[in-house]
Each structure stands twice: as C-alpha cells, then as structure tokens.
Amino acid sequence: MTRSLAHEVAVIGVSCTKFGENFDQSLQEMMVEAGTGACQDAGISVDDVQAAWLGTFSPGFGGGKATITLSDALKMRGRPITRVENYCATGTDAFRNAAAAIAAGKYEIVMVVGAEKLRDRAVRGLQREGIHPYLESGSTAPGLFALSANRYMHTFGTDRRVLAKVAVKNHANGALNPKAHFQTKVTEEQVLNAQVIAYPFGLYDCCPTTDGAAAAILCRADLASKFRKELILVRGSGLAVMSGKPFLDPTVDYLGFPSTTAAAQQAYQEAGISDPIKQVDFCEVHDCFTWTEITNYEDLGFCKKGEGARFIEEGRSSLTGDVPFNPSGGLKSFGHPVGATGVRMIYEIVTQLRGEAGARQVKDAEVGLAHNLGGPGAVACVVILGRES
C-alpha cells in the first residue's frame, strides 16, 4: 500500500529572484539568492539543510549537468544533492521527490532549488532536442502547441479572442507582481494585432524565455511549528508520463493532455479532493501558451472538455473569480526559466496561503494547486498545498 504525503511534510521557507533578463547574475548567483533567501524565510541556516534537490533543464555553459553547481554556490559539500530534469515539469518534480524523501523518514529538513539561465544564449527560445529524424525537423514549441490549439478551436468553435482573454488576464496579474518578467498590462486589441508566431499564437500568446531561480525549504510536519506559526502542508502530488511520440499514437485527439489529467487524479486522490472546483481555491498552471491554460481548466477537472472558453469568458479564472488561475501572472508574465518555473509556482502558492501576496492576494486562500506540463505534453506534475486545517 502506498504512503500518502498528506500532513507529513510542511513548507517552512520560500524565496524567488526577480525573473527576467538577469544579465548581471550568473546561474550560481541566482541559486545563492534563492537558496539563502528560503533559509532566511524559514529561520534556518544552510548548515541545517540535510539534503537538496536541484531542478535545472538546460544549465548551459558553466552550469554543468551535475549538482556541483548548487554545492559550490551554497557550500553544501558533503551532503546529498540530486539533480532533476523532466522537461518543463522539472521544478515541481524536484519538489515532489524532496517531499517524498521527508515522508519516507530519510530526512527532516531539505531544500529544493529550481534555476535556469536562458537569456545568455546564442539560440532563440528553447533549443530543440528532436526524437524523430523527420517529423520534428525544424519544429518549435510554439509550432507544436499551435497544432493542438488549431485542432481544439476547430472542434469546439472557439477563436483567437478567447486566447486573448487569457493573455489580458495574466498580464494584468503580472502587473501586480514585482518579481515578474513582464509587469505591463495589455489589451485584447494588442494581443490580436500582434505579430503572428505560429497561428493561432501571436507574440502575446507565448511565454518568454527568461532567467530566474526559486527555492523552498521542506520540513517534517511534526517539527515545522518550531520554525513557523502558520503551517503550509503538502496535501498531495502526482506525476504522469505519457508517450513522447504522440504523432505515432492514433488515439491522441490533440484536444488536451492526458498526462495532466492523470497527474491531477493522483494528486487529488492523495489530497482527498473529489471536487476541485469546490475544494481548490486557486491554481498556478502551465500557461506556456494562452490556449494551454484553457485546456488546463478542462484537464484539471474545473470544467468539462470544450467548456474552457466559457470558463475564461465568464471571468471564473480571474483574480476575483470562482477559482483564480495564475494570480502570479503565470508563465505568460513571469517567464519560463524551465527548471525554476515549478518551484516559483510553489513560492507563489505559499505566499498566497500565508496571505502575503499584496495586491494580487486571492481572498480566503486555503488550498492551492501547482501544475506543470512538459515536452510535447508528455509529462505533467501536480502539487497541492494547503493551510493546516
């Protein structure tokens, strides 16, 4: 019988750098800022950390493919550090592994760091690492997601105006967030008239590549009260991996992502959630493109398939709606330094649950959900956090 994470692991510290074009910081310097900041927030020192997990997808020159980057940056030599790389779910998967290690009784206090530096590169966007010699030649992330978006729009009769509403909402939220890459509101007209990247996506439908780092300190729940009065507990988590070659699977309908649905069901079961629309107060989800957020509403169970357009049109995912989605501004405004994004979501959820989010604060936030979707929709991770009840 599997062991649940519910009520066994607490998050006692979080920190996040400013996301953006951080040309004045190296990857290691961002790790130091995030890692030491999370320790300060938890009221501990780096010496108190027994183990760490580093989430980084493409660390680039000088970043290394091992965890010595974090060991050198934070002087954590002699302790176990594990590097996690799992497409865009890298950060949340690193967090999931750290939480599981505490629940298993291996450690009492651990650190998770997500970090990525994508702006100091010769390539534009994310460099493709193809898995098919012909079908993926020259493909890009906008191009791949645009194929699914067009299929969805054709099937359910939606148009680009629906996508624009997601961009407008998330830019408005990001304008309230001092750590976001973009802190500027946009209008629906600006979104619709922007340069087309891969139809139906224009410039404002795509998240930017970004530099950034975030960190979290996890602790055994029964020890957490020594460090903080308010307890933020890990309620559940889920990870699902589907085929990386959906174009070879005739059952794939390109109307959503089964990996998200499967990961969510795992997390909901562990957290005891039977009706997310009633039991989850807000979500940080993977809006790499505006259409992706719409299908996330459906794949996570907040509305039925094909009803995502109405969900955004009725304002249900707005900051004052039924279930606010991406109150931080999402990937759309925050940017997407791949390994850092999931941990940044954890930072946002903890900040919201503490009631410390300022102008973007979700009213009466008790339970929050973080979701990442990676690769060709093949990998998804969901983490649910909640205040101690």
**Residues taking part in catalysis:** 88, 336
Name the residue among 88, 87, 85, 66 with its Cα closest to residue 77.
Answer: 66
Q: Could you give the 3-state DSSP secondary structure of residue 114? A: strand
Q: How many CB atoms lie within 10 A of CB 278?
A: 10
Nearest-10 crossing angle of helices 160-174, 290-299 = 90
Q: What angle do CA 272, 277, 278 make, to 5 degrees?
A: 65
* Centroid of chain to Cα 271: 19
Instruction: Name the CA dihedral angle for 345, 385, 44, 347, rounded to a multiple of 10 degrees.
Output: 10
- Six token digits for residue 173: 């939220």
Nearest-10 crossing angle of helices 290-299, 258-271 = 50
Altogether, the residues listed in the chain come to a count of 389
For residue 307, the one-letter residue type is E
Name the residue among 384, 131, 73, 128 with its Cα closest to residue 236.
Answer: 384
CA atoms of 350 and 98, how far apart (whole Å): 16
Name the DSSP class of 36: H
CA atoms of 38 and 113, how far apart (whole Å): 9
Backbone angles phi, psi at 359, to 5 degrees: -65, -20
Instruction: Name the CA dihedral angle for 159, 161, 162, 166, rounded to a multiple of 10 degrees.
Output: 140
Q: Are 300 and 285 in contact (CB under 8 A)?
A: yes
Q: Are 351 and 14 in contact (CB under 8 A)?
A: yes
CA atoms of 322 and 279, how far apart (whole Å): 11
Taken in order 243, 246, 251, 256, the sign of the CA dihedral is: positive
Q: Could you give the 3-state DSSP secondary structure of residue 266? A: helix
